């Protein structure tokens, strides 16, 4: 049964032959055995055939035969298999074209305005974790889309972190918008401030394109490098102040007061018609009927016929 060796930095087939078979010149034994196993298990086994002994990759699995008591003598030469393993730096590129698939952010809505933001452009992410070369190699030899999708998961997580938010703010007095974009914050850049321009009544807009952004991010055990050539499009819709209308309750009170006033006027007019404008006057200044006998109404003062107020 063979040995599975994970290629590390500094490895070469010459070095592996020296470690496992006692002599670097026996590297061809490893090549033959590895290719035999690769043919048996195929790419699903993560085995990539070795076509050039001077070209193996960091993260690649190399099958080495078990030690033999009397291995055949090596005939290889050092320059044929002494090149150190190549680190496979795989970059995943995400494109967000304007008008087709931009990244849209949650609007900022206030009483006076609404701010909408979206990002377009290109973002490239490269895995740099301790097993990054292995991950990248597995991506390179992935046999189908499902396998490839699972291997690319690191890029999706990184993309989600980079494009998480923009946190827009709008100053109505200056007409300027400030964006705190997470993709820039990871590179210690920003916030960005720019003036939006009116293009229609109650509507302002601007497309801001910063300089290319590049940085290395360390998040827990993950480490990746990214570059971004992006643009932010911001739209501000102003909310016109509504015309102030009287409160419904106040309007109803005013209507009730008007009704009461009209009723009071009508009642006073009826009293005048019934009793006349020169009826007897009470202690309180009120009216009593002419025909009411004063003697039967002790709560009134005696009427003086000579009172000038009673004369026509």
- At residue 292, the pLDDT reads 46
Residue-level pLDDT at 299: 42
Chain segment 141-169, per-residue pLDDT in tens = 665 555 555 555 666 788 889 999 999 99
**Which pLDDT does position 93 carry in this prediction?**
84
Mean pLDDT of the 42-51 span: 73
Report pLDDT for 255: 67
Is 143 within the bounds of a domain? yes
| pLDDT tens string 90-146 | 677 889 876 678 999 999 999 999 999 999 999 998 877 766 666 666 666 665 555
Instruction: Answer for the pair 120, 97: CB distance below 8 angstroms, yes or no.
Output: yes
Residues 234 and 103 in one domain: yes
Residue 224 belongs to a domain: yes
Instruction: Please give the radius of gyration of the chain, using alpha carbons only, rounded to the nearest integer.
Output: 47
Domain contains 282: yes
> Between 17 and 157, whose confidence is greater?
17
52: exposed, middle or buried (Cβ count in 10 Å: 0-12, 13-18, 19+): exposed
Residues 298 and 233 both lie in one domain: no
Q: Looking at the predicted structure, is the pLDDT value of residue 291 above 50?
A: no
Q: Which residues pair with 126 in a beta bridge?
A: 91, 225
- What are the angstrom distances between the C-alpha of 266 and each of 159, 200, 294? 80, 58, 28
Q: Supply the pLDDT for residue 289.
A: 47
Q: pLDDT digit string (tens) for 182-213?
A: 999 999 999 999 999 999 999 999 999 999 99
Give SS3 for 233: strand
For 225-231, what is the mean pLDDT? 94
What is the predicted pLDDT for the residue at 68? Answer: 73
Same domain, 155 and 275: no
Residue 157: give the domain boundaries: 91-238
* Same domain flag for 21 and 116: no
Residue 66: pLDDT band with limits 50, 70, 90: confident
Q: Are residues 76 and 122 in the same domain?
A: no
Residues 207, 301 within the same domain: no
Query: What is the enclosing helix (H) or strand (E) of 227?
Result: strand 222-238
């Amino acid at each position: 049964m063979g040995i599975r060796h994970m290629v590390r930095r500094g490895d070469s087939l010459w070095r592996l032959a020296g470690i496992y078979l006692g002599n670097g010149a026996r590297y061809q034994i490893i090549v033959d055995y590895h290719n035999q196993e690769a043919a048996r298990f195929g790419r699903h086994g993560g085995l990539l055939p070795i076509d050039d002994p001077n070209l193996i990759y960091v993260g690649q699995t190399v099958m080495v035969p078990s030690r033999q008591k009397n291995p055949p003598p090596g005939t290889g030469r050092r320059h044929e298999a002494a090149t150190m393993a190549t680190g496979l730096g795989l970059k995943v590129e995400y494109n967000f074209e304007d008008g087709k698939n931009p990244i849209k952010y949650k609007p900022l809505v206030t009483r006076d305005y609404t701010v909408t933001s979206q990002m377009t452009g290109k973002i490239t992410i490269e895995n740099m974790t301790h097993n990054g070369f292995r991950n990248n190699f597995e991506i390179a030899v992935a046999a189908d889309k499902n396998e490839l999708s699972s291997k690319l998961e690191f890029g999706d997580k990184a993309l989600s972190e980079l494009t998480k938010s923009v946190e827009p703010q709008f100053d109505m007095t200056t007409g300027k918008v400030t964006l705190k974009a997470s993709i820039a914050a990871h590179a210690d850049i920003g916030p960005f401030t720019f003036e939006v321009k009116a293009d229609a009544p109650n509507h302002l807009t601007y497309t801001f394109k910063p300089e290319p952004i590049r940085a290395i991010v360390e998040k827990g055990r993950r480490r990746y490098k990214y570059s971004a050539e992006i643009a932010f499009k911001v739209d501000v819709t102003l909310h016109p102040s509504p015309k102030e209308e009287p409160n419904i309750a106040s309007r109803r009170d005013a209507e009730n007061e008007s009704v009461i006033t009209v009723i009071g006027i009508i009642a006073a007019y009826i009293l005048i018609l019934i009793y006349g404008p020169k009826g007897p006057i009470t202690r309180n200044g009120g009216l009593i009927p002419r025909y009411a006998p004063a003697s039967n109404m002790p709560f009134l003062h005696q009427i003086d016929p000579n009172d000038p107020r009673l004369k026509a």
